[in-house]
Chain A
Amino acid sequence: MPVDVAPSPAPTRESKVVSLEDAAALIGDGSSLALGGIHLHNGPMALIRALVRGERKDLTLIPNVSVGMPAELLIAAGAVKRIYASYVGLEHHGLAPAFRRAGQEGTIEIHDIDEPGSVYAMRAAAASLPFMPFPPGHKAVDVTRLNPDDYKVTTDPFTGEDVVVIRPLMADFGLIHVPQVDQFGNVQLEGAPVQDVIIAKSAKHVIATAEKIVPVEVTRRAPERTQIAGFFVDTVVHAPFGAHPTSSHGRYYGDEGHVEIYKALGPDRYIEEWVKACPTEAEWADKVGGARIVSLIEGMANNVL
């Protein structure tokens, strides 16, 4: 896909833009991945599909607090060894079948965490903290007992009371999908940042796939709108419609009907009949269909945002 990037005023500065395939090739078997977005929104799906097509194995997932299709698809493809799970599900579409099956059959290692634990583990990684403590009372939440690898109880040195702490979780790669980024990685969002900023600050290598890549001059017109400084973004990919079937806030709605297709086919058939049947994202868009794509874009365009 051609990327229209205007000449930079600093010609020696390096563009971070690469192809989707080249970005996926950075991610080797056994890597750990933080996954941005939330539920059926802003998922880095084009990159996830590229990893499934490339038959990646033994990945560790450190997803956002409420992950849906991005984690579900990798689990469905047998690409996952371990997941730090605050919530894996399909929200109003129900339980996530591949995650449920893997959890019940013990084919992946699930580290149960909770929402504050997901954030605190990334916050600790981002700020180079040895651990993050929780407020008093957190021992009442059973994940702190069920997951002794990641939660510990220690002594608050100020009060002498017990305090629950969680370890830092630093992913090898942070994957986020955004509406707009420039060639140097400055990200301007058009909807919920959810957990994307702390993912960008905590992962070792951040890949931003984007609906649109703009020249840095566009970023400069409104720097206050840059929520993720390009300093934290290592690789930029032009991936239009790359969040599908999740929404791209500001660009198109989530494809609720597609999630029902996934549920009806089941994980195995969906991987074969959809992901592997479409070797490129252009073929993916063809299979989804122009009318469907336009309806998702029109829905968002009619929004007041």
Chain B
Amino acid sequence: MSSDVSRAEYMVGALSTGLRDGEWGACGAYSEIPMGAFMLARAFHAPNLWWMSGGGGAINPACTLVESSSDVRTWDGAEATFTIEDIVDYEFGGWQRRPNVGLFGGIQVDRRGNVNMVGIGEYPNLTLRGPGTVGLAFASHFHRSMIYLHDHNPRVLCEKVDYVSGPGHGDDRRSDHAGGPSRVVTPQAVFEFSGDGYATLASITPGYGEAEVREHTGFEFESVDGLGETPPPSPEELEYLRTVIDPEGRLAHVSTGDWR
């Protein structure tokens, strides 16, 4: 079964298991993988999870996976809608109401879980002009977050981000209630953060080895004892993922870097 599981499906599974019942969550744009994770978690282990689909304004969408989290299809069967102004109130103040979790990506992530979307190089003369900070600014206000990446290479997973868009661990400027990132999910591996807030290799996508992941990662890290493979979604979860959440098979086409 697991041999035909796509890397995006592994990522959906790894993010889904990190979501907890009773939380509310939010994701950003280009979010098929986190959207799939929210939908899967609600169907299997977190029925009381609430989630906001990007900037499009739908809470608990009932649609199948779409490419853009702002697609109006997310409004089909949703339970509530919101504006961009609402997002600011929810994501700055919503942590006071119930535990929340943010799912987001970036162009650089470092071993402390800082995320950069501004760019790479000496500001303002950047050698790579990134799209901008956008909702990563809310990272310092979520109880915790999970980071997902479409690529796993030493440029993306780097020693220290050039600019902090979403603050990670070990930064005393962050909000008191913000727990920082709990997990980084890539096409090749899952990192979790140790008590002192450093990325630790937690599991590896089948097909990769520890040395290879180390070679593809731009920062030093320790591995958990008894390091193993990332488990695929269960057969029941996969069936649900493929028939209910993603009947059009979009996850198979999501960019996840080089695959062998």
**Measuring CB to CB, which residues of chain A are less than 8 angstroms from any residue of chain B?**
38-41, 64-66, 85-89, 91-92, 95-96, 99-100, 102-104, 106, 110, 112-120, 123, 134-143, 146, 191-195, 197-198, 247, 249-250, 254, 256, 300, 303-305
Contacts and interface: CB of A to CB of B under 8 A. Distances in A.
Contact of A142 (B72, B83, B118): B118
A287 B245 CA distance: 36
Interface of B: 29-30, 55-58, 67-68, 70-73, 75-77, 81, 83-85, 87-88, 91-93, 117-119, 123-138, 140-141, 163-167, 171, 173-176, 178
Contacts of B130: 95
16 contacts: A65-B134, A87-B29, A88-B131, A89-B132, A91-B29, A115-B138, A116-B88, A135-B141, A139-B173, A142-B133, A146-B124, A194-B83, A194-B84, A249-B72, A304-B76, A305-B72
State the main secondary structure of chain A at its contact with B: mixed
B55 to A, nearest CB: 5
B70 A116 contact: no
Given A146-B118, A300-B72, A115 B178 contact: no
Contact of B134 (A86, A120, A256): A86
Contacts of A96: 131
A231 to B, nearest CB: 19
Contacts of B92: 116, 134-135
A208 to B, nearest CB: 17
A115 B135 contact: yes
Given A112-B118, A142-B163, A249-B72, A92 B30 contact: yes
B173 A192 contact: no
A142 B166 CA distance: 9
Contacts of A141: 133, 136-137, 140, 164-167
A86 B132 CA distance: 5
B34 to A, nearest CB: 13
A137 B178 contact: yes
Contacts of A87: 29, 117, 131-134
The 3 closest A-B pairs by CB, nearest first: A103-B129, A137-B175, A114-B137
A198 B85 CA distance: 8
Contacts of A192: 55-58, 70, 72, 75, 81, 83
B65 to A, nearest CB: 12
A116 to B, nearest CB: 5
